[in-house]
Amino acid sequence: MNQPDRYVQFVLPEGERKVNYKADTKLKDAGTFSFRSEDHTMGNLLRMQLHSDKAMVFAGYRIPHPLEPVMVVKVQTNGTKSPEEAMVHALQDLASEFGYMLNEFDREVMNAQQNPMHNL
Amino acid sequence: MGKDKKKKSTEPKAKLPEHLELRRDYVTCGDKLNYNVHTFTSANVFSAMGVDNSWDLAQFKKDFKIIINKLDKEVLEFDMIGVDPAIANALRRILIAEVPTMAIEHVFMINNTSIIQDEVLAHRLGMVPLLADPQLFEAKVAEEAPSEKNTLVFKLDVTCKRGENRMFSGQLEWLPGGSELPEETTCRFAAGQAHLFADPATPKPRAVHDDILLAKLRPGQTIQLEAHATKGRGKEHAKWSPVATAWYRLQPVVHVIQDVAVDSDVGQELMSACPGLFVADEGGRVLRANDARGHEMLRRLLEQERFSSCVSYRKKKDHFIFTIESSGAVPPLELLGQALELLGEKARDLTGKL
């Protein structure tokens, strides 16, 4: 009766923005990204990729409430990049990483099909 | 970071001292708990030692490997090396919840005089995995009328005349022409769906397993219903999950930390408990050989002090042994391909929306 509809977890309602950025009022080069209809799948990936950036001082994600499909990523850089830039770079790196993984997978599938012996 | 120019460094990259490399790369398994479980993702974590831990696409491409170990109709086992646990977990979550499949969503009961209640029967029908390629269909939005583009229609008509009859999933009949009650179900097909499955190589839509027991009937009881299947994702309801399950574990690595003589008690017990794992090297000591994969029984022995002082059981943090068990609707290799594509799509999608 009180359970929200499941499709809300992955369908973005009309008129809502997927990502919102708010610069931090008290810290320099810090800000918070708010993602709608995202969960730990993307949150943990973004956090991991942001950490591997040399310009990062703080990067973390959380889901403020399990019943609401909102994910918040807090980013603070050391000044060489703005937080938005760092996020864009992290996403681009992730995209190129996954593209490469897909290519490797296709290559391995072709390999496996040509040598059927090595599957057993 | 993705657009920085790469500088060719003339001196070799500084390496971590061995004990720190051990902590960074391996989980040490104790008998009650595991140590050094966390991954060091931060780029600056070793800056005090002059080691750069930042991520580099070229380095990733060099280290990354996928190796398929076992593949058959339902199960795929493969190794993924050089990858952070966040990626392995994201892949697992996508396989379980976000790769779409077809499953029965709406059931129109025409007649049900059996003792199985309507809603219980409808729930059981929903959980039956259907052999239909979800890529031939579009997802159905709630307000849209069901049509041939987003719905598969099945019919079930069973009457028990004598003794006890069992209703199995194999009795689900596919109706290529659409619903037989278009007024009640508002499902009208303009043309049939038969052309989608005309090729003799593609199987006609049916339940993956014919022998799933749905209901039991006694004489005089009858069940007549029409079931509509739509495309959905595991996130919305577990019936749409394409995998029985998908899981991963870390690659085990066995290391001999103290020399053990082959003919000592300890050495003999080790070699007999795990044949093939421990091999004598020249000089008569015991050395670890090959993969520790089949030899998980070793952990039982390591509960004893005399073994755990000379053999250490570790797990490699970036080497994942993935197993995908498909429920039958989509072959596991294709599932992995779709999951990897979805992963890439998510990242590209967010890049565009910033």
Q: Please give the structure tokens belonging to residue B218.
A: 């006694």
End-to-end CA distance of chain B: 17
Same domain, B233 and B250: no
Same domain, B234 and B131: yes
Interface with B, mutate which of A98, A103, A118 (most B CBs under 10 A) = A98
Question: Is residue A103 in a domain?
Answer: yes
Question: Is residue A120 in a domain?
Answer: no
**Where does a domain end: B223, B238, B253?**
B238
pLDDT computed for residue B289 by the predictor: 63
The verdict on a CB contact (< 8 Å) between A104 and B54 is no
pLDDT computed for residue B9 by the predictor: 47
Question: Is residue B91 in a domain?
Answer: yes
A 10 A CB-CB count for B15 gives 11
Same domain, B79 and B107: no
Tell which residue, A105, A40, A100, A99, has the closest CA to residue B332: A105
Domain count, chain B: 2
Question: Is residue A1 in a domain?
Answer: no
Same domain, B225 and B253: no
Angular region, A25: left φ>0, alpha ψ -120 to 50, beta rest: alpha
Tell which residue, B323, B98, B87, has the closest CA to residue A52: B87
Question: Is residue A9 in a domain?
Answer: no
Same domain, B142 and B196: yes
pLDDT computed for residue B217 by the predictor: 95
Same domain, B230 and B272: no
Question: Is residue B316 in a domain?
Answer: yes
**CA-to-CA distance for B118 and A39, rounded, in angstroms?**
35
Question: Is residue A86 in a domain?
Answer: yes
Question: Is residue A62 in a domain?
Answer: yes
Same domain, B246 and B260: yes
Q: Please give the structure tokens belonging to residue A73.
A: 């990523």
Same domain, B218 and B272: no
Q: Residue A64 is part of a domain; what is its CATH number?
A: 3.30.1360.10
pLDDT computed for residue B283 by the predictor: 61
Is B78 strand, coil or helix? strand
Alpha helices by DSSP H, B202-321:
265-273, 298-301, 305-308
Residue B62 touches partner A, C-beta closer than 8 Å: no
The one-character DSSP state at B253 is E
Question: Is residue B4 in a domain?
Answer: no
pLDDT at residue A73 above 70? yes
B66 contacts B324 by C-beta, under 8 angstroms: no
Select the residue of B44, B61, B68 nearest A100 (Cβ to Cβ): B61
Same domain, B203 and B319: no
Alpha helices by DSSP H, chain A:
40-51, 83-114
pLDDT at residue A16 above 70? yes
Q: What type of residue is A32?
A: T
pLDDT at residue A79 above 70? yes
pTM of the model: 0.90
Q: B 126-155 residues with CB below 8 A of A?
A: 142
Question: Is residue B302 in a domain?
Answer: yes
**Where does a domain end: B238, B272, B307?**
B238
Q: Which domain holds residue A101?
A: 15-112
Residue B93 touches partner A, C-beta closer than 8 Å: yes
Each residue's pLDDT, cut to its tens digit, for chain B (354 residues) gives 444 444 444 556 678 888 888 989 999 988 888 999 998 888 888 888 888 888 888 989 999 999 999 998 899 999 999 999 999 999 999 999 999 999 999 999 999 999 999 999 999 999 999 999 999 999 988 788 888 889 999 999 999 998 889 999 999 999 998 888 888 888 888 888 888 888 888 889 999 999 999 999 999 999 999 999 999 999 999 999 999 989 999 999 888 887 777 777 877 888 888 877 877 776 666 666 667 788 888 888 888 888 888 888 899 999 999 999 999 999 999 999 999 999 999 999 888 887
pLDDT computed for residue B290 by the predictor: 65
Q: Residue B52 is part of a domain; what is its CATH number?
A: 3.30.1360.10
Q: Which domain holds residue B297?
A: 18-99+242-354
Tell which residue, B245, B249, B247, B246, has the closest CA to residue B320: B249
B79 contacts B66 by C-beta, under 8 angstroms: yes
The verdict on a CB contact (< 8 Å) between B55 and A49 is yes
Question: Is residue B3 in a domain?
Answer: no
Same domain, B32 and B143: no
Select the residue of A19, A48, A93 nearest B57 (Cβ to Cβ): A93
Rg for chain A, CA atoms, rounded: 19
Select the residue of B54, B86, B344 nearest A53 (Cβ to Cβ): B54
Question: Is residue B272 in a domain?
Answer: yes
Interface with A, mutate which of B350, B351, B353, B354 (most A CBs under 10 A) = B350
**CA-to-CA distance for B209 and B169, rounded, in angstroms?**
7
Chain A residues touching residue B54 (CB < 8 angstroms): 52-54
**Where does a domain end: B204, B223, B238?**
B238
Question: Is residue A7 in a domain?
Answer: no
Q: A 2-61 residues with CB below 8 A of B?
A: 6-7, 9-10, 17-19, 21, 35, 40-42, 44-45, 47-49, 51-56
Same domain, B233 and B248: no
Q: Residue B226 is part of a domain; what is its CATH number?
A: 2.170.120.12
Beta bridge partners of residue A20, listed in sequence order:
A34
Same domain, B336 and B265: yes
